Amino acid sequence: MPKRVLIANRGEIARRIARTCRRLGVDHVAVHSDADAGAAHLDGAFETVHIGPSAARESYLDIDAVVGAALRTDCDAVHPGYGFLSENPEFAARVTEAGLVYIGPDAATIAAMGDKARARELMAAAGVPVLPGSEHATESAAQLRADAARIGYPVILKPVAGGGGKGMRVVHGEAELPDAVAEAVRLGRAGFGDGRLLAERYVAAPRHIEVQVFGDRHGNVVHLLERECSLQRRHQKIVEEAPAPHLPPVTRKALLDAAVRGATALGYVGAGTFEFILDGDGRFFFLEVNTRLQVEHPVTEEITGLDLVEWQLRVADGEPLPLPQHRIRATGHAIECRVYAEDPAHGFRPAPGRAEVVEWPPEVRVEAAFDGPGAVPGFYDPMVAKLVAAGPDRETALARLRTAIGETTLVGLTTNLGFLGELLAEPRVLDGRVDTHLVDAFTARSAPPDRAGRALACAAAMAVPDRTAGASPWSGTVGAFDRAALDPDAPLGRIGLRHEGRDHEARLLSRDRAGLRVDTDGGRFTVLAEPASGGLVRGTVGTTQWTGLATAAGYEIVIGGHRVALGRRSFDEGGGDTSDGAVRTPMPGVVVGVACAPGARVEAGELLVVVEAMKMENRIVAPFAGTIERLSCAQNETVTADQVLVTLTPEGDTHA
């Protein structure tokens, strides 16, 4: 067993690895960037090391800084976690060359599996089914056209060095191919430093099934069963479970055997995941190997009762696998969801920020970046936590997860919690009949309701008690009244609020034991509100639960897991939009594309700037037709949330 491990990561996975280290009596060293100087993953570490500025490429992706930190703190091993350097063969080699133990497979295996063309070749030789596809990776559109003609349309183009779905393009016919190749090559070069592509047969509505494998240095290889990972958006998983539902026993056995056969052929050491797609006819095909611990490993731990991080530490230290295949058993069912700092109401754009109040549900396993107030920087992946529910069967586990989502409180941070709750109530999800396109189809047909009106009503309910403290934001009377003497539609008071640049008004119509009846420009609502701990107010608006927090800026309202932030407004401020021609970035990030220039005329919706935040490219477009008056950003510039990028003069406006 290693004596001291440097955890080359951050957030929830760093905390997860540290937990096992503490249980086993292994010292751990934590690293951090400027952005993570006060992060929760540093708590309890034997030593903490600052490794660079906030940008990942200057800190968590800096091999010299990470290896140097391990050497300076007398570590004898390095755990890469997932993401960042976890599948970088150069990093694995440098750790080993420094005389340290790399907790994962060797650099040669990582390199071979990181090259999709090489991985296909090795798996085919091992008898693992692969999709019909290119024999060699290339940037040549002519060669890819020939490959596609041989394979048959539709095909999917994959960057050979890619991961996470980035740069993949589906091509339905030859006419689409040139533009798709050009775009995929560009994204491959920009994202991975390698523009070569593979063409493979595209399976229209597959399931995504993966198998957890483990190997040791003594030639032993086992599987720890499979996971269902079909619920994903933009090729990123958001809900995973084990075992996979509705998987025929014959297919399950063939999948597990294929994964073990592939891992054995590689001489695989450590934790790895073999990913497959399963078509509508029950045939499965190799997709890729992830040469690290997976984000979704907790569902495997929940059904097997095993600690996969402990297995990693023991295998890396040269021990044989803790259990042979025949002693690995699964009991019950487990399902997890990923909680992201993102805004479902605006295309799931990243939403970095700070959670002022955090209350995780008590009855499920929670893997979180923080347990109290904490920040989600805009420099890294937006995942905040994973909620993991287990039970004797799928129905019980799923019900517990849905309850846990409803019991989670994150105030001040925009997340996908509400979306997750709605997704897990979808009939096909409840039945376990899922595929990789279900989430996109669900999103497309589930237009988000306008929650602003309900949030205004909730904020109004919170504001009423302020009058007793002599600081009421209300105009009019909100105290005791003779109900019979009043026009039921005459407001007793009104409050001004601001939401997303627009001014709104909420009007109190009545207040009694049944609650407050509030009229807003979004409708009329009955609101119940009760004070709770930590300055929170909880209640219902209609039949929906809500939580609120009054802040210096206004009100933070969470309705059914969806956040609405409202600012205070005085009535003498005037109304209307705050449109001043300033086009701002809604999130911090790095400018990776500038598509406009001063003096140029643009149409409404035309691309102006591309900001990369939390590993996603976000398109900033013109809100109306006009002329670029001023460009206030540059390529590769780091920008903050709400920073003005472009100033636009509306069409027909002669003032400049």
DSSP string, 359-402: E--SSSEEEES-SSSEEE-TTS--EEEEEEEEESSHHHHHHHHH
Q: What is the pLDDT of residue 34?
A: 96
Report the candidate in 26, 24, 41 with the shortest Cα–Cα distance to residue 385. Answer: 41
- pLDDT confidence band for 33 (50 / 70 / 90): very high
Identify the pLDDT of residue 88.
95
Structure tokens at 216: 């040791």
Q: What is the pLDDT of residues 87-115, one digit of tens each?
A: 999 999 999 999 999 999 999 999 999 88
CA dihedral of residues 464, 568, 420, 351 (deg, nearest 10) = -160
Between CA 27 and CA 2 the distance in angstroms is 9
Q: How far is CA 380 from the centre of its chain?
A: 10
Lowest mean pLDDT among 131-145, 255-269, 582-596: 582-596
- pLDDT tens track for 634-650: 998 888 767 889 999 98
Q: What's the alpha-carbon Rg for the chain, to the nearest Å?
A: 27
What is the model's pLDDT at position 492?
Answer: 67
8 Å CB contact between 168 and 159? yes
Burial 412-433 (b: 16+ CB within 10 A, else e): bbbbbbbbbbbbbebeebeebe
User: What pLDDT sits at residue 652?
Assistant: 67
Query: Do 281 and 220 meet the contact criterion of CB atoms below 8 Å apart?
Result: no
pLDDT band at 630 (very low <50, low <70, confident <90, very high): very high
Query: Is pLDDT above 50 for 141?
Result: yes
Q: What's the pTM value of the predicted model, to 2 decimals?
A: 0.84
Query: Bridge-partner residues for 517, per DSSP?
Result: 510, 526
Q: CB count, 10 Å around CB of 88? A: 17
The pLDDT assigned to 656 comes to 43
Q: Residue 590 has what pLDDT?
A: 84
Tokens of 126: 């091992």
Helix (H, G, I), strand (E, B) or coil at 130: strand
pLDDT given for residue 576 in this prediction: 36
Q: How confident is the model at residue 552 (pLDDT cuts 50, 70, 90)?
A: confident
Mean pLDDT of 364-382: 95
Pairing assessment for the beta strands 169-171 and 77-79 based on DSSP bridges = unpaired
Confidence of residue 371 (pLDDT cuts 50, 70, 90): very high
Query: Quick one: pLDDT at residue 409?
Result: 96
Band of residue 189 on the pLDDT scale cut at 50, 70, 90: confident
Token code pair at residue 291:
């040469």
Bigger pLDDT: 621 vs 48: 48
CA 4 from centre of chain: 30
What pLDDT does 110 receive? 97
If you average pLDDT over every residue of the chain, what do you get? 89
Q: How many CA atoms lie within 13 A of 449 on its CB side?
A: 14
Q: What is the pLDDT of residue 384?
A: 97
pLDDT at 577: 40
**123 or 656, which is more confident?**
123
What is the average pLDDT across 372-389?
94
Give the residue carrying structure tokens 């300055």.
535
**Mean pLDDT over residues 54-78, rounded?**
97
- C-alpha 356/C-alpha 375 separation (Å) is 9
Task: Examine the pLDDT at 578 and tell me if it is beyond 70.
Answer: no
Residues 6+ away with beta carbon under 8 Å from 70: 6, 8, 29, 78, 95, 98, 100
Percent of the chain with pLDDT over 90: 67
Question: Looking at residue 130, what is its pLDDT?
Answer: 95
What's the mean pLDDT in 350-358? Answer: 92
| Mean pLDDT (whole number) for 204-219 | 96
Look at the chain and count its residues.
Answer: 656
Given pLDDT bands bounded at 50, 70 and 90, which one contains residue 193?
confident
pLDDT of residue 614: 59
Over range 368-378, report the average pLDDT. Answer: 95
Strand order in the sheet with 601-602: 582-584, 644-650, 626-631, 601-602
Q: Can you tell me whether residue 192 is helix, strand or coil?
A: helix
CA 271 to chain centre: 22
Q: Which one of 267-281, 435-449, 455-469 scores highest in mean pLDDT?
A: 267-281
Residue 447, pLDDT above cutoff 70? no
Mean pLDDT of 404-420: 96
Determine the pLDDT at residue 580.
Answer: 65
